[in-house]
A and B are shown apart, each in its own frame.
Chain A
Amino acid sequence: MKKFTILLSSLVFTLSVALADNHSDKLPVEADYYPITTIPLPEGEVIEVSGIDVLPGNKVAIASRRGDIFVGENVFGPEPEPKWTLFARGLHEVLGIAWKDGWLYLTQRPEVSRIKDSDGDGRADVFETLGDGWGINGDYHEYAFGTRHDKNGDIWVVLCLTGSGGADDKSPFRGWCMRVTPDGKTIPTGYGIRSPGGIGFNHLGDVFYCDNQGLWNGSSSLKHLRPGGFQGNPVGNKYFALTDVLGPKPPDPTSKSRIEIERKKVPDFVPPPIVLPHGKMGNSPAGIECDETGGKFGPFTNQLFVSEQTHSKIHRVFLEKVNGFYQGAAFPFVKGFGSGNIVARFAADGSMFTGGTNRGWGSHGKKPFSFQRVNWTGKVPFEVHEMRVKPDGFELTFTKAADSKTLSDVSSYAMECYTYIYQKGYGSPVVDKSVPIVKKAVPAKDGKSVRLTVEGMVKGNVHELKMPGIRLKGKDHPLLHDVAYYTLNEIPQN
């Protein structure tokens, strides 16, 4: 009996040590891996950051909604004390900048231009209009977001509809994607756009943009600008009368339907690779930036980072190609930015510069504007790395080995499935809700992936996967973000 008592007490001791250990080991937070550093801006200036690029010599150029360009030095390091120079002023709401061969290329509301400091005094003095083959009509919604150069040297521009819902004769090509070539041609490249919030490339040079919830857009989405592709809003289709580059005007979709149904009738329909569920993920997705830093930003090489204006966040997006179409999953990444995030840009050292504004549309970050930087601390967060669809389920990979027992327990997972009405009216409630069942979860031996067999997947719908039960191998840590939103437009055959 005595012996037993000793055993028991030692067990209690071990347990209490383990508990104490757990207690002192606080759960990790985003800032342990990806802290945000605020970069001071020149005093007295209002710089609602709407474009960022990195210049030679460790300089950074930022554009503002007011139409200024500032160039900053000493923007790196833990406590940056930058020196800012006014490079250009009085431009028309610049929403995209790109440095190339001594020129700074700008997408302004009316045109793509390139500007240069030809006399070396630090201020631009040459302002060349490169391409301006679209119309504007005095409406604030007539935004133009532009990319950097693609491999051909073209800049891709997405044009918001007039008033975010109209297509006036005075404003040709609203709701279209245009390419501006190095020799100044403006080429209609895609259509069906409503109200973009930003545009960017993936690592292969394919172009994506974010479109905001509204008419013919049940929820905000990340969309793939496949040349000649239709993005879902037919209001701008009237401009087929002005060009034959993309062939004849396609049939209009039917309202109060589903994208999954209508895409069968409109051949060029590109279903949104990522639906960002409105209210859950954010309200206003903006710029898109791909991690091509080769690991300097952590384990998410070639994934996309999406700025979110209303929620002052950055989302992370993994894309795969299934049956020829991009689709994939969105994950929460970092929240708590100063203002409404509009744009992000990686520097070669793995710094991610972010900028934003909350003018005109509110944001969780209450600063009227901000310029910040996200850096990876070198510690790997416990996250879902990739989420791929399989004919009968999904495969998840992890950034770190997970506890196999929790991985193989189907009660670690909960899935919901839903979509939005595809309609002429504004937005949509969540519809067609169902609950697919995770029947089986088979982890890999190393605990770095798990194969889920799911019953009840629905083609065309968002598959929201919660993983509250998964634990880090050897520790009682849950995933840093235990939710993923997979948009299932296509299901592979095998």
Chain B
Amino acid sequence: MLGLTGFQVHADKPPKGFEKIDQEIVISTMEAQMKYDVRSFSVKPNAKVKLIFKNPDTLPHNLILCTPGKKKGGDGGQEVIDAVLKLGDKGVEQNWEPTGHPRILASSGMVQPKKETVIYFRAPKKEGDYPYICTFPGHFQLMNGVMGVSKLANPITNLTYKFYHGGWSKMPDFTKMEPKKTGVLASGLFDISPRDRNDDFGFSFTGDIECPKEGKYTFTTSSDDGSLLLVDGKLVVNNDGIHGVKTVSGSVKLKAGKHLIEVRFFEKSGGEELSVAWSGPGIKKQALSKTSPKSGGGGAVGMLIEPPEGEASIYRNFINGAGPRAIGVGYHEGVNLAFDANNMRLAMIWQGDFIDGARHWNGRGQGYQPPAGDAVVNLPEGVAIAALDSSDSDWPKAEYRTKDLRFRGYFLDKMQRPTFKYERGEVSVEDTPMPIAGASEDAAGKIKRIIKLKAKDAPKNLYFRVAQGSFEKKGQSFEGDEIAISVKGGEPVAQGGDLRVPIVFKGGSAQIEVTYSWSE
């Protein structure tokens, strides 16, 4: 029976050999909807599986797990259904089950309303999609699902995709579009291979991910071009925009149990790639796609740079997300940042570990190293200070390296914390980020930044861009998806996806104070 070696209905105790199982899955019927609540799940080849089948519905249902069959792309168990129809009058007697049919792997038997049953089986050795159906006449069209057998089986169930055509430069709103194709990814792996073209396309994926314990979970996407990852509707990873393979991580606190996971992806032109992974309490980094995310094009590990007690550490190097002239600063308070001296901007802030030196301190040290920590927030590319005709003018396009501003270095305080210095013509700037430790060990810290500007002849039309994205004003704070920002020393204007502050000089100087907090 095709790898099915153990199988028991109504087992109070597990059968011999199944005292210890590899995976437990609970599938329930949905009341008055003629559906299983789990439409897909994945198991590893040869795994010992305990399947609890619950039937809270008012009708009897069964769950028959079938082999994929010979038809290309699968038949959803149609051959078994055909056999049920052939039973004719014997159907009722046999509980609508063609006992002994070669395609049946396992069966729950007919479960009466408000009852449940437990079956044990060993998963097939062969990877593939194994359909399961209710064979009660007329049910199977709606009451079906797929068990994915995959070496990369993961805790995502009900993973489906919608595939779209279109050319975008940032993530579009897929909900307003008609998908070209939809499907189930029973393996639980985010996968962009069900596509019919290699440029100008997008995917939106939704599924349920089972968190074994309450705690902080970190999700990572590595994509070319953009990707977003949301959990329970909240943005956790923002890897949007057109770029080569770029890796971004984000963290979220989750309760034990199932959570809605969504990944959105688009590809404009050139190479296309999507890898997803997660880690959390008791889970080492696990790929949720066939390929593992490249940590910033190969985030090397093993030489973590840790700020000494009471001090900040500086790391000037090629930092992924902050450019070739990056200056990373790790504060022992548990927050970190990277300044981009090509564009005089705060490029990134993140929590936890600072950065690993292993990429640049081994071998020849090629390429860009990403932050080691999590909750990475990417701040706008391009210059942070610009002259605008009016507050609603377009912000200047981001360049690889600005010619408008000039880097002048930094000085350190007693705790080795830098104040960056730069100039824009006659305007000189001192930019001092300061860490604010979280209220408790678990609480996220903040970064407060004081920007002092001096000029003899103060220009009137200078603006400082604080952040990009949509922000909602709540009291004194601007709340975004990833961060909340509060500003002193100027009135922020939310304009064209920017949060910008007019720089007002008084007596030749101006000061802006910005506090970045991670959104709860």
- Min distance, Cβ A171 to any Cβ of chain B, angstroms: 8
Q: A46 CA to B360 CA in the complex, in Å? A: 13
A170 close to B400 (CB less than 8 A): yes
A136 close to B325 (CB less than 8 A): yes
* Interface stretch of the complex, out of A120-128, A244-252, A273-281: A120-128
Residue numbers in A under 8 Å from B313 (CB-CB)? 89-90
A359 close to B316 (CB less than 8 A): no
Q: Is B365 an interface residue (CB 8 A)?
A: yes
Which residues between 428 and 453 of chain A lie within 8 Å of chain B, taking CB atoms?
none
Among A90, A124, A142, residue most surrounded by chain B Cβ atoms (within 10 Å): A90
- A 83-117 to B, binary, CB cutoff 8 A, 1 in contact else 0: 00000011111000000000000001011010000
Residue numbers in B under 8 Å from A137 (CB-CB)? 324
Size range of the interface on B?
Answer: 20 to 34
Q: Is B68 an interface residue (CB 8 A)?
A: no
Which residues between 387 and 425 of chain A lie within 8 Å of chain B, taking CB atoms?
none
- Min distance, Cβ B102 to any Cβ of chain A, angstroms: 58
Residue numbers in B under 8 Å from A359 (CB-CB)? 361-364
B367 close to A110 (CB less than 8 A): no
Interface residue total, chain A, C-beta cutoff 8 A? 32
- A 441-468 to B, binary, CB cutoff 8 A, 1 in contact else 0: 0000000000000000000000000000
Q: A66 CA to B362 CA in the complex, in Å? A: 10
Closest to A90 in B: B314
A360 close to B365 (CB less than 8 A): yes
Q: A89 CA to B361 CA in the complex, in Å? A: 14
Residue numbers in B under 8 Å from A91 (CB-CB)? 316
Q: A110 CA to B360 CA in the complex, in Å? A: 15
A138 close to B325 (CB less than 8 A): no
Q: Is A349 an interface residue (CB 8 A)?
A: no
A89 close to B411 (CB less than 8 A): no
Q: A305 CA to B315 CA in the complex, in Å? A: 33
* Interface stretch of the complex, out of B167-175, B401-409, B441-449, B450-458: B401-409
B361 close to A90 (CB less than 8 A): no
A110 close to B400 (CB less than 8 A): no
B410 close to A127 (CB less than 8 A): yes
Q: Among A90, A111, A125, A360, which residue has its beta carbon within 8 angstroms of that of B315?
A: A90
- Min distance, Cβ A259 to any Cβ of chain B, angstroms: 29
Q: Is A206 an interface residue (CB 8 A)?
A: no
Q: Is A73 an interface residue (CB 8 A)?
A: no
Closest to B363 in A: A360
B324 close to A138 (CB less than 8 A): yes
Q: A324 CA to B221 CA in the complex, in Å? A: 61
Known: A138-B368, A170-B400. A66 touches B316 (CB 8 A): no
Which residues between 186 and 233 of chain B lie within 8 Å of chain A, taking CB atoms?
none
Closest to B313 in A: A90
- Min distance, Cβ B341 to any Cβ of chain A, angstroms: 7
Q: Is A272 an interface residue (CB 8 A)?
A: no
Residue numbers in A under 8 Å from B418 (CB-CB)? 127
Residue numbers in A under 8 Å from B363 (CB-CB)? 359-360
Which residues between 293 and 340 of chain B lie within 8 Å of chain A, taking CB atoms?
313-318, 323-325, 328
- Min distance, Cβ A284 to any Cβ of chain B, angstroms: 13
Q: Is A282 an interface residue (CB 8 A)?
A: no
Q: Is A67 an interface residue (CB 8 A)?
A: yes
A128 close to B366 (CB less than 8 A): no
Q: Is A140 an interface residue (CB 8 A)?
A: yes
Q: A124 CA to B315 CA in the complex, in Å? A: 15
Residue numbers in B under 8 Å from A138 (CB-CB)? 318, 323-324, 367-368
Residue numbers in A under 8 Å from B323 (CB-CB)? 138
Q: Is B412 an interface residue (CB 8 A)?
A: yes
Residue numbers in A under 8 Å from B412 (CB-CB)? 124-127
Q: A123 CA to B362 CA in the complex, in Å? A: 27
B361 close to A66 (CB less than 8 A): yes
Q: Is A268 an interface residue (CB 8 A)?
A: no
B314 close to A89 (CB less than 8 A): yes
Residue numbers in B under 8 Å from A66 (CB-CB)? 357, 360-361
B407 close to A67 (CB less than 8 A): no
Residue numbers in A under 8 Å from B366 (CB-CB)? 139-140
- Min distance, Cβ B247 to any Cβ of chain A, angstroms: 15
Identify 14 residue pairs between A and B in the complex whose beta-carbon atoms are under 8 Å apart, listed by A's number: A66-B361, A67-B315, A67-B317, A90-B314, A93-B317, A113-B409, A124-B412, A125-B411, A127-B410, A136-B325, A140-B365, A141-B364, A359-B361, A361-B364
Q: Please report B residues at the A interface, Cβ cutoff 8 Å.
A: 313-318, 323-325, 328, 341, 357, 360-368, 400-401, 407-413, 416, 418
